[in-house]
Amino acid sequence: MSKSDSGDSKRQRRVGRLAAIMCAMLVLGLAVTGCAAKTGTDGAVSGDEIIIGTALCQTGIQAPLDEPQLRGVQLAVDELNANGGILGKQVKLVALDGKSDPVTVGNVAKQLVDDGAAAIITPSDFDFGGPASREAQKAGLVGISPAASSPLYGSAALGDLQFTMSMWNTTMGAVSAEYAYNTLGYRSVYVITDDFIDYTKSLSKYFIVRFKELGGTVVFEDTYTQGQADVSAQLARIKALPEKPDFIYISSYMPDLGLMIRTLRESGITQPVIGGDAYDDPALWGALGAQYGSDVYYDTHCFFSNEANPGYDKWLASYQDKYGKDPETPMIMIGYDAMMVLAQSMDKAGTTEGAAVAKVMETTEYNLFTGKLKWSDAASGHEPNKAAAMVQLEAGTPKFLGWFIPEKIPAP
C-alpha cells in the first residue's frame, strides 16, 4: 500500500517536473515568436534581414498561375540580395503553400505574420488571394497580389494596405473592345463566357459594356463551364445564326480554351477570336498550332521581347541562369515585378512599416517590366492604371501589336 503510494507520488513528481519543463519551453517559445512577430509588425529596422512572405498556391487548381509567380519572386529576391537587399538588409523569402484553398491561404498568411513577414504576396484571384490580404491588413502589413484582375481586388473590399499588380478586368475588357471596334473595325460579336470563376465572368462583363458603349452589337451572350470538355452546343448555336458575327469573344482559360477554339476552327468557324490574358500561354499557342493559331487576338500584361519590354534580354538571361529554361508565362514576370515594387517602396519609405509603404505605393509611378504602373489612392480603390500589351497570334506564333491604354475604362 505504502509502496504504491510512494510510487504514485514519485510519478506525480516526475509528471510535475515534466509539466514545469514544458511550461518553461512554452513560455520561451511564445517569447521567441512574440519577438519575431514584433520585428515584422514594427517594421523595425533592427535585425539583419527582412522577411517577405508568400501565400501563393504551389499545388491545386491555382498552381498554374501562382507557381510561376513564385519563381519570379525568387528571381527578384536573388537579384535584390546580390545588390545589397532592401534598406541595406538581406531579404529572406518565406514561401508557404496556400494549396488553392481559401481557408488554408488565410491560415498560411496568419503564419507568415507570426513568422515576422514585412509584407505578404498573395494568390492571384480575388477568391483565393482575398483571405491572405485580409490577414495582412489585420496585421498592418502591405499585401500585394501579382495577378488578381478582379476590380474587387483593392482597398475598397480588402483594406487600405492591399494592392494588385494586374490591370483590373475593367481595363483588360476595355482594351480588347476598343481594339476590335476602332482598329479592326468589327461591329458585331458573339460572346462565350466561362462561368466557372470570377475572372472570366467579370472580364466578359466589362468587355461587353465597353463594346456596346462604342456602338457595337452583341449578337448573343453564351456560356461555357470549365471542365465540360465539349462545345458542341455553342457551336450549333453559332452555326444556326442567320447573320454571322464579325468576331467571337471567348473569356475562358487553359486547358479548355484550347479545346474550344480548336473545335470551332475544326468545324469551319473562321471568325477571329479575341480574349484576355489567359491566352498568353504557350500551351494554347501549341495546341492551336500553325493550322488554327491565326486570327486570334488578346491583351495581356507584357510581351517577351526587348521591343515591348526594354531590358528583357538581360532579365531572360538571369531567368535562364537560375532555372535553366525559358519563361513560359507572363506570370513569372509579374511575380518578379511584385517583389520589385515592394523593394522599391520599402527603400523609398525608409521602413517596412505597412502604412508608410502603402503611402509610397499610392503616390509613386513605377516603371516595371510589365509596363508603367500607377495606383489610385485608397479612397478610389487602389485602381491600377496600367497599359495592356495587345498581341496577335499568327500561325501559332504571338506578335506584339503595341501597348494600349483604354480611352475610357468602365466603372467597376
Q: Can you tell me the distance from the alpha carbon of 118 to that of 9, in angstroms, rounded to the nearest whole number?
A: 50
For other proteins, the binding residue among 63, 165, 338, 373 (CB under 8 A) is 63
> What is the nearest approach in angstroms of other proteins to the Cβ of residue 257?
9
For other proteins, the binding residue among 13, 15, 230, 367 (CB under 8 A) is 230
3-class state of residue 255 by DSSP = coil
> What is the nearest approach in angstroms of other proteins to the Cβ of residue 81?
26
User: Restricting to residues 294-353, which ones interact with other proteins according to CB under 8 A?
Assistant: 328-329
> What is the nearest approach in angstroms of other proteins to the Cβ of residue 64?
4
Strand 119-121 versus strand 142-145 pairing type: parallel
Which span sits near other proteins by CB under 8 A: 47-55, 82-90, 215-223, 383-391? 215-223
According to the binding rule CB under 8 A, does residue 258 interact with other proteins? Answer: yes
Q: Can you tell me the distance from the alpha carbon of 133 to that of 131, in angstroms, rounded to the nearest whole number?
A: 5
> What is the nearest approach in angstroms of other proteins to the Cβ of residue 254?
4
- Whether the CB-CB separation of 73 and 79 falls below 8 Å is answered with no
According to the binding rule CB under 8 A, does residue 394 interact with other proteins? Answer: no
Q: Which three cell numbers stand for residue 148?
A: 488578381
- Whether the CB-CB separation of 333 and 315 falls below 8 Å is answered with yes
DSSP per-residue codes, 274-327? EE-GGG--HHHHHHHHHHH-SSEEEEES--SSTTTSTTHHHHHHHHHHHHSS--
For other proteins, the binding residue among 40, 43, 53, 68 (CB under 8 A) is 68
> What is the nearest approach in angstroms of other proteins to the Cβ of residue 131?
20
For other proteins, the binding residue among 185, 215, 268, 311 (CB under 8 A) is 268
For other proteins, the binding residue among 47, 140, 255, 402 (CB under 8 A) is 255
According to the binding rule CB under 8 A, does residue 20 interact with other proteins? Answer: no
> What is the nearest approach in angstroms of other proteins to the Cβ of residue 233?
4
Q: For the chain, first and last CA: distance in Å? A: 80
Cis-peptide into 255, omega within 30 deg? yes
According to the binding rule CB under 8 A, does residue 241 interact with other proteins? Answer: no
Q: What phi-psi label fits residue 268: left (phi over 0), alpha (psi between -120 and 50 degrees) or beta? A: left
For other proteins, the binding residue among 96, 284, 296, 339 (CB under 8 A) is 284
Q: What does the buried/exposed string (b/e) look like for 293-304 if buried means 16 or more CB atoms within 10 Å of the residue's CB? A: bbebbbbbbbbb
Output the furthest CA–CA distance in the chain (Å, rounded).
Answer: 101
Which span sits near other proteins by CB under 8 A: 31-39, 278-286, 299-307, 399-407? 278-286
Q: Can you tell me the distance from the alpha carbon of 251 to that of 194, in angstroms, rounded to the nearest whole number?
A: 6
Q: Which three cell numbers stand for residue 216?
A: 457595337
User: Restricting to residues 171-200, which ones interact with other proteins according to CB under 8 A?
Assistant: 195
Q: Can you tell me the distance from the alpha carbon of 140 to that of 131, in angstroms, rounded to the nearest whole number?
A: 14
For other proteins, the binding residue among 47, 282, 402, 412 (CB under 8 A) is 282
Binding site for other proteins (CB under 8 A): 59, 61, 63-64, 67-68, 195, 220-225, 227-230, 232-234, 236-237, 239, 254-256, 258-259, 262-263, 266-268, 281-289, 291-292, 328-329
